[in-house]
Copies of this chain bind each other. A is one copy, B any other.
Amino acid sequence: MAMTDAMTGAVGVASELKVIAFDVFGTVVDWYGGIAAEVERTLPGIEGGAFALAWRAGYQPAMRSVMERIAAGEGGFTLIDELHLGILEGVLRDFGVTHLDPVQKRELNRAWHRLPAWPDAAEGLARLKTKYTICTLSNGNIGLLTDMAKHAGLPWDCILSAEVFKAYKPDPRTYLGVAAVFDVSPGQVMLAAAHHDDLAAARGCGLKTGYIERPLEFGPARTKDVSPRPGNTLHARDIGALADLLGC
């Protein structure tokens, strides 16, 4: 097979790289499909996709207020499990669901622990693991990410999380924290993610970046622009394609 320019570039990247840290929600697992299915199973009559989008839409504002409270010295580190549960209360109200008791709400909230992996993820990660250290770098808490890995068969070498660094992405302490944990330079770490803002923040810290297309992240009804952007080190259709590019 003839080497393309992208592949020639990837050979250089592959030799320097030591660690690949993965964003998780949307990049490795399908939160839209997983939440939609669980909602339709447990709340008959509710449109699962719309519920999933509403729940996820609450995440950014909730995370922003946590960060503002921390910055103002008024709050501490909050686990995503708690954040998700707080958002869920509002979404249930908006969808007119009033019959769930606290135990049922907590059980539904654990749907985030059981999200299905994208079909290419487990095998692609296993290939990358033969050559690199592969870890999570997610704002999700350690327990959530561990349950998810067991459930979906994700073969992480290590679970890293905002909970380890006591700072949330896009705080530089998270990206630089990965390099520090493994005693390598930022340029020996790649963040792989389906979100350009996350990748841009990692790039600002000197990490390499791999964009993973996930055109169905927000479900079949919402279009996502997955075209390549020049700032990223690599661009891959999925995690298997990333393994191809890196010669695994």
Contacts and interface: CB of A to CB of B under 8 A. Distances in A.
A142 B81 contact: no
A150 B159 contact: no
Given A81-B183, A164-B164, A183-B81, A158 B142 contact: yes
Contacts of A78: none
Number of identical monomers bound together in the oligomeric complex? 2
A157 interface: yes
B164 A150 contact: no
A172 B181 CA distance: 23
Interface in A128-154: 129, 133, 135, 141-143, 145-147, 149-150
Nearest to A145: B158
Nearest to A177: B142
A64 to B, nearest CB: 25
A182 interface: yes
A150 B182 CA distance: 13
A146 B164 CA distance: 15
Given A81-B183, A150-B133, A142 B157 contact: no
A161 to B, nearest CB: 9
Contacts of A159: 158-159
In this complex, which of A135, A149, A158, A163 has the most chain B Cβ atoms within 10 angstroms of its Cβ? A158
Contacts of A158: 142, 145-146, 149, 159
Given A81-B183, A164-B164, A183-B81, A146 B157 contact: yes
A49 to B, nearest CB: 28
Contacts of A183: 81, 143
A147 B81 CA distance: 29
Per CB-CB distance, the 9 closest pairs between chain A and chain B, nearest first, are: A146-B158, A143-B182, A158-B159, A142-B181, A143-B181, A146-B157, A164-B164, A143-B183, A150-B157
Given A142-B160, A146-B157, 5 more contacts: A133-B150, A142-B158, A143-B183, A150-B157, A163-B164
